[in-house]
Structure 1
Amino acid sequence: MSVKHPVRGKSAIVTGAGSGINLAFATLLLQNGCNVLIADLGLRPEAKAVVEKYSGPSGPRAVFQRTDVTDWTQLDAMFAAAEREFGEVHIVCPGAGVYEEHWSNFWRPPGSPESRDSPTGGRYGLLDLNLTHPIRVTQLAISHFLSHRKDNSRRHIVHISSIAGQNPALAAPIYVATKHAINGLVRSLAKLDEVLNIRVTAVAPGVIKTPLWLEHPEKLKMIREGQDEWVTAEEVGEVMLALVQQDEVSNIIGEKNGGGQLFPVSGGTVLEVSKSVRPVHAFNDPGPSNRAGNTVTDMKVVEDEIFELLQDGWGKSKL
């Protein structure tokens, strides 16, 4: 399959690229000749190694910009830094996000001991990170594309959705709501592709072997080893790279095992990534199946813990 929109010589911003899926995507961009500004609160050792490897005077460069993505002034500074370093930005991935951690959790509401959300603050940390940040970065990216465009080649915004963008999950209602919203945002901006050559797409991964899962015992208890299968961050990164390099995306993961189906890519495309790849349609879509990479066998363990929390007094303010 020919690559019609190679990333070589271009530049990207990837938030949350200090680890996980976004680091895998940033690494693939660099390996294919694209400069990358990595925006995160910090870098894990594997991310530091990538930045060091691509910090030389020649070839693609990686630049780290410490960024709290919930602070809009820092998002402005992130784009300003990318412009200083690279001039024009062609690819933006507002990838930073978390699962429904106890510090911002529907079942541990503001005022609960674990919650960092103030009962009087009017904000949910999880929404700021998983939804408001990608909305704001998308606005900033479009503004940058319109004011810095030097040619008519396509520009890209790639979002991180999830199979939670279709599936319900009692264990994580706010997280599920943010991923449903990301799908709606991506589809709502589809016409930017045909009118302005700005393509907005998303990947919707299943269960991914990243620190987001591996370092959170409350999440790992849902996984049954030997029965539930992980998808790797690198496999998701391959699909993301295909979204920005090609007009058609092959069933990348599946074709390694003898598959090879092609899916057309346009603005508004959402691709589910499990142990194969499929397009997620807005209407009459069957939803994620029990294919390898999508299953969480022991979700009931966490659901039972939730019902134990729901006693008289739950949710009452502790002011």
Structure 2
Amino acid sequence: MAAPTGSIPFKVDSKSAIVTGAGSGINFCFAKLLLSRNCNVLIADLALRPEAEKLVEEYSAKDGSKARAVFVKTDVTIWNDLANMFDQADKEFGGADIVCPGAGIFEPHWTNFWLPPGHPKSKDSPHGESGAGGLGHYSIFDINVTHPIRTSQLAISRWLNPPSDSKVGKASPTNPKRIVHISSIAGQTPGFPFPLYIASKHAISGFIQSLEPLDQTLGIRVNGVAPGVIKTPLWTDHPEKMTLFDEQQDVWVQPEEVAEQMLRCCEDDSIGGGVVWEVLKDKYRAVDWRMDPGPEGTGATVSNRAQMTEEVFGWLAEPGWGQVAK
């Protein structure tokens, strides 16, 4: 675990936050927890699930009686939408002290290594995008890697160059700010059935660890959680993923438990910048980039991964796998 940073204590109470992907799952639980602590929250997502709609309605009053929640429709793959989140946070709250670029996906069939661009189930173009120099891309990396990196850039820029009417002010060790990412234990392990997701979380863990010097120097703490197997729509909305989980043997880590540890990443000075904070069932630790032993404990794995591996080899056996019509 990192040593204390020397910045003044940071509490979320009376602060403001931007949380992407907060229409459901871990991010929704984090937004809800922040609101309960009197922290304004801008919820950025494509849409809201019913529980998130109810939360926004509950915290919609502008009479100052409690924190406010504001929904801003956001496609995190569009950089103008990401910039708009910060503009709206300026407008609604005078800025944001906490940024959580938490939106992510778990290698669905529509952006999947084993169902490559050109496959009927894939939405990734095999030919690149016109108007973008013919550059191809995987949507999973746009969402899981590029979006949190770009959001972090925008946050740091805002905190170093705040608007003249900003209420959050310029970041410094005496006016600290927080970026909390969501990595995964997938960032510490291999995973044959979902290599793009694995690669994306390795990338985010490395990104978090690389930004450690911002904490002591500028008061901008960049860290994040690495959850185990969490019962969220990333699993429950995808029947093909749910087959991995054995209800008789495996244990879910609840999203509320992860949200509590995200709050801890903001407030606990013993969890400094650059820390990837592993969250299993009732077990937490800092992931060391040097010879780390990997995740061990309840909620760290699923039992039926061999079943998905068999499915992958079935796809690879299909005639013409990966070939694209010219």
TM-score (norm 2): 0.90
Aligned ranges 1:63-82 → 2 under 5 Å: 63-82=70-89
- Aligned partners of 2:267 and 2:272: how far apart in 1? 12
The percent identity for this pair of structures is 55
SS at match of 1:236: helix
Question: How far apart are 1:318 and its partner, in Å?
Answer: 3.2
SS at match of 1:60: coil
Unaligned runs of 5+ in 1: 248-263
- Aligned partners of 2:38 and 2:112: how far apart in 1? 40
Matched, 1:47 2:52: yes
Deviation sequence 1:261-310 (CA, Å, 0-9, x none)? xxx21110111101111110010110011x11112100000000000111
- Aligned partners of 1:217 and 1:318: how far apart in 2? 30
Matched, 1:97 2:111: no
Q: Which residue number corresponds to residue 67 of structure 2?
A: 60
Question: How far apart are 1:150 and its partner, in Å?
Answer: 4.8
Q: Which residue number corresponds to residue 176 of structure 1?
A: 198
Number of corresponding residues: 300
Q: Which residue number corresponds to residue 133 of structure 1?
A: 147
- Aligned partners of 1:222 and 1:265: how far apart in 2? 32
1:136 partner letter: R
Question: How far apart are 1:4 and its partner, in Å?
Answer: 3.6
Matched, 1:297 2:311: no
Question: How far apart are 1:6 and its partner, in Å?
Answer: 1.3
Question: How far apart are 1:246 and its partner, in Å?
Answer: 1.9
Q: Which residue number corresponds to residue 277 of structure 1?
A: 284
- Aligned partners of 1:123 and 1:111: how far apart in 2? 13
Matched, 1:216 2:216: no
- Aligned partners of 1:245 and 1:6: how far apart in 2? 6
C-alpha RMSD of the superposition: 1.2
Deviation sequence 1:43-87 (CA, Å, 0-9, x none)? 000001110111112221000000000000111111100100001
Matched, 1:146 2:160: yes
Q: Which residue number corresponds to residue 123 of structure 1?
A: 137
Q: Which residue number corresponds to residue 225 of structure 2?
A: 203
* Kept in 1: contact 2:111–2:124 (CA 8 A): yes
Deviation sequence 1:167-200 (CA, Å, 0-9, x none)? 1000110110010000111111100001100000
Matched, 1:306 2:320: no
Question: How far apart are 1:17 and its partner, in Å?
Answer: 0.1
